[in-house]
């Protein structure tokens, strides 16, 4: 999939908000791409734009989302329905809100499989049980007839993952799928996704605000800021040689074992809400290494080699020494 120059704006009472001004984002076949950034940076908007599930107040102003050679933005709603939930599927943060409380969880799963594979109800039911076993749910037959409230949060998220995989999609969008879970269950879900890689062919876009999570499972990482990708590269490159000061600051904010309490650095300020597009870099007000050029000219993405792209005039990701110890705030 290739996204190019995607602009999405919201009409609000306070005026227009530029939610996305995404110059370039590619998802390669079979990869896990980690999409990271602080709250409001545009991660969910990107996923919802791909699925064409944006709020009615949101307007796609321009751009292309090329999926398997075709522009999703040019598809009719009827065409999108055959893509959504089949070729492209999504797992949300809160599985309770996406499962219907009055039906057993197996109901939609069997329905999706029966529709997708055009098999008998019995065969679909067996496939559904196999899918629930694949996501390591104990007693899958019982889970099939359980109601959502009878399952734990982690189990519900496994059901959602089974559902998202049951149509054998080419692209799976996972929007903060572990954030609502406690830390132990988060780790189990991440391990599950690692294990599933051998069984599925789908590309996965894994959305999170946590770079530590991404380090474990992603092949590549894209860092978003104020509606655009400011850096993308292999996970190793991003972690060893961040090119953007924002990435470097996000890396510093990952807690490490043995770190003294109260020394976790914070990035001062917040992601701006863009009401009037500006000429310069949106990270300028918070950037510890800014230069005058950054205020007046938006950085173009530069290729640092091996598919490592950075949109920063400095491009070395080095922070001033007084930043490396953090500022003592938690
Ligand atoms: N309903 C809305 N009305 C107006 N603006 C919105 C709305 N939803 C999102 N936006 C704008 O779009 C931008 C991107 O939001 P998005 O939800 O994609 O962020 P995110 O990276 O997913 O954040 P989070 O980590 O909190 O999920 C926000 O900065 C916000 O200004
Ligand atoms: Mg979001």
Atom of ligand 1 nearest to the CA of 41: 21
Beta-strand pair 88-91/309-310 = unpaired
Compute the distance from residue 250 Cα to the ligand 1 centre, in Å.
19
What pLDDT is stored for residue 323 in this prediction?
A: 54
Strand order in the sheet with 70-71: 15-26, 2-12, 58-67, 70-71
- Name the token pair of 98: 């996406």
Give the residue, by CA position, lying nearest to ligand 1 atom 12.
19
Could you give the CA distance from residue 237 to residue 34 in angstroms, rounded to a whole number? 13
What pLDDT is stored for residue 189 in this prediction?
A: 87
What pLDDT is stored for residue 327 in this prediction?
A: 42
Could you give the CA distance from residue 110 to residue 106 in angstroms, rounded to a whole number? 6
C-alpha distances out from residue 42 to 78, 108, 152, 246, Å: 26, 30, 30, 15
Compute the distance from residue 293 Cα to the ligand 2 centre, in Å.
31
- Please list the rounded mean pLDDT of every run of 10 residues in the chain (330 residues): 97 90 96 94 96 94 97 96 92 80 92 87 94 93 94 91 91 90 85 86 92 90 96 96 93 75 70 84 93 94 93 83 48
Q: What is the pTM of this model?
A: 0.91
Atom of ligand 1 nearest to the CA of 37: 21
List domains and CATH numbers for the chain: 2-87+167-324 (3.40.50.300), 101-166 (no CATH)
93 lines ligand 1 (CB under 6 A): no
What pLDDT is stored for residue 148 in this prediction?
A: 92
């Amino acid at each position: 999939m290739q996204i190019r120059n995607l602009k999405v704006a919201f009409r609000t009472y306070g005026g227009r908000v530029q939610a996305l001004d995404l110059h370039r984002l590619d998802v390669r076949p079979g990869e896990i791409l980690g999409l990271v950034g602080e709250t409001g940076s545009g991660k969910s908007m990107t996923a919802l734009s791909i699925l064409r599930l944006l709020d009615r107040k949101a307007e796609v102003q321009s751009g292309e989302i090329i999926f398997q050679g075709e522009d999703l933005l040019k598809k009719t709603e009827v065409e999108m329905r055959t893509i959504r939930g089949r070729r492209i599927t999504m797992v949300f943060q809160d599985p309770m809100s996406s499962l219907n409380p009055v039906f057993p969880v197996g109901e939609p799963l069997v329905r999706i499989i029966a529709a997708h594979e055009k098999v008998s109800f019995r065969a679909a039911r067996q496939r559904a049980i196999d899918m629930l076993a694949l996501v390591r749910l104990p007693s899958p037959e019982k889970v099939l007839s359980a109601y959502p409230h009878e399952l734990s949060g982690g189990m519900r998220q496994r059901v959602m993952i089974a559902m998202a995989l049951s149509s054998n999609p080419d692209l799976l969008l996972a929007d903060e799928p572990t954030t609502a879970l406690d830390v132990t269950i988060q780790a189990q879900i991440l391990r599950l996704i690692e294990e599933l890689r051998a069984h599925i062919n789908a590309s996965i876009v894994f959305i999170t605000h946590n770079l530590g999570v991404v380090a474990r499972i992603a092949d590549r990482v894209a860092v978003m800021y104020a509606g655009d990708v400011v850096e993308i590269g292999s996970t190793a490159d991003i972690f060893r040689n961040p090119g953007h000061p924002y990435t470097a600051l996000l890396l510093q904010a990952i807690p490490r074992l043995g770190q003294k309490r109260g020394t976790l650095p914070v990035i001062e300020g917040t992601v701006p809400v863009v009401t009037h597009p500006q000429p310069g870099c949106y990270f300028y007000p918070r950037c510890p290494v800014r230069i005058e050029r950054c205020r007046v000219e938006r950085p173009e993405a530069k290729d640092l080699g091996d598919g490592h792209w950075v949109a920063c005039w400095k491009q070395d990701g080095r922070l001033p020494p007084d930043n490396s110890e953090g500022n003592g705030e938690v």
